């Protein structure tokens, strides 16, 4: 790679954000590191100005009397800037290679999709009919054992996206017809192998979300509490 091919940090980060979706914690960490790098650059500029004898006679005498104290300060500032830039590069590379969403990130996506209250693309009480209609899915929809004991009526389904992958959103209502549930099925990401078969529950923006894995799929159910 030629020196001319190296992009400024701000430009590289901007392109990275546009190409890779980041979760809120990842974005916050990158912005903090970017600010650290900017602070180091400002400190380096100040140290460089102080080191110039024509800008600060007192600084010049201090350099002479204390064996280049300001020069050493400048060197430390440059070193700190280089280390910070290296840390930013390492974090970007790590996120680029393993941009994996956590269970909480998935739950936030499910809560968001639930709150959108999108209309179903196919209205049917048959999971098989919905599976046939959603033919672009890379998996077959299942009748979850987790829902077997619940008095829910299937209304229909539609496509949605979970973890950047094409997923199914199924809409149910309870026996009274007053409460709506949305159920999500997506091919289980490989880094979710550690999630137990037993469901985990969390509340996100007023939405109760339950997440579990079943038959090679990652499933979630959302409802307003």
* Residue that is written with structure tokens 């949305």 in the block: 182
pLDDT at 221 over 70: yes
Looking at per-residue confidence, does 170 or 6 come out higher?
Answer: 170
Pair 181, 141 in one domain: yes
Supply the CATH number for residue 193's domain. Answer: 3.30.200
Pair 107, 182 in one domain: yes
Pair 91, 108 in one domain: no
Mean pLDDT of 18-46: 59
- Domain endpoint, select from 97, 118, 141: 97
For the chain, give the mean pLDDT: 75
Pair 7, 84 in one domain: yes
Mean pLDDT of 83-106: 61
Pair 165, 137 in one domain: yes
Distances (CA, A) of 118 to 113, 156, 169, 183, 196: 8, 11, 10, 13, 30
Mean pLDDT of 73-97: 56
pLDDT of residue 97: 40
Report residue 169 as tokens.
Answer: 């959103």
Longest Cα pair distance anywhere in the chain, in angstroms? Answer: 87
Question: What are 145-170's pLDDT values in tens digits?
Answer: 988 878 899 999 999 999 889 999 99
Extended beta strands in 71-179, E state: 122-123, 152-162, 165-174
Pair 124, 182 in one domain: yes
How many distinct structural domains can be found in the chain?
A: 2
Pair 151, 87 in one domain: no
pTM score above 0.75:
no
pLDDT at 65 over 60: no
pLDDT at 81 over 80: no
Pairing of strands 152-162, 207-214: unpaired
pLDDT at 27 over 60: no
Pairing of strands 122-123, 207-214: unpaired
Q: Does residue 195 contact residue 212 with C-beta atoms inside 8 Å?
A: yes
- Domain endpoint, select from 97, 127, 146: 97
pLDDT at 132 over 90: yes
Tell me the residue range of the domain where 53 lies.
3-97
- Domain endpoint, select from 97, 117, 149: 97
* Residue that is written with structure tokens 């800008």 in the block: 55
pLDDT of residue 25: 54
Pair 167, 132 in one domain: yes
Radius of gyration, alpha carbons of the chain: 27
Pair 111, 193 in one domain: yes
DSSP 150: S
Torsional sign, CA 113, 114, 118, 124: positive
Pair 90, 107 in one domain: no
Pair 50, 79 in one domain: yes
Looking at per-residue confidence, does 14 or 168 come out higher?
Answer: 168
Pair 24, 125 in one domain: no
Q: Which residues pair with 221 in a beta bridge?
A: 183, 210
């Amino acid at each position: 790679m030629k020196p001319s091919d190296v992009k400024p940090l701000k430009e590289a980060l901007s392109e990275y954000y546009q190409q890779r979706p980041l979760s809120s914690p990842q974005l916050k960490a990158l912005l903090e590191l970017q600010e650290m790098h900017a602070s180091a650059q400002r400190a380096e500029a100040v140290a460089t100005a102080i080191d110039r004898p024509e800008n600060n006679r007192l600084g010049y005498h201090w350099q002479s009397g204390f064996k280049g104290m300001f020069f050493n300060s400048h060197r430390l500032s440059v070193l700190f800037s280089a280390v910070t830039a290296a840390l930013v590069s390492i974090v970007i590379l790590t996120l680029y290679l393993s941009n994996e969403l956590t269970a909480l990130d998935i739950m936030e996506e499910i809560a968001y999709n639930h709150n959108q209250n999108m209309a179903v693309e196919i209205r049917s009480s048959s999971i098989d009919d919905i599976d046939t209609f959603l033919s672009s899915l890379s998996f077959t929809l299942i009748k979850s054992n987790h829902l077997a004991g619940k008095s829910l009526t299937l209304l229909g389904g539609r496509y949605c996206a979970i973890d950047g992958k094409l997923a199914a959103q199924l809409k149910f209502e309870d026996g009274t017809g007053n409460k709506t549930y949305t159920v999500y099925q997506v091919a289980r990401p490989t880094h979710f192998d550690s999630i137990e078969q037993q469901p985990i529950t969390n509340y996100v923006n007023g939405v109760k979300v339950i997440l579990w894995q079943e038959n090679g799929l990652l499933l979630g159910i959302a409802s307003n509490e």
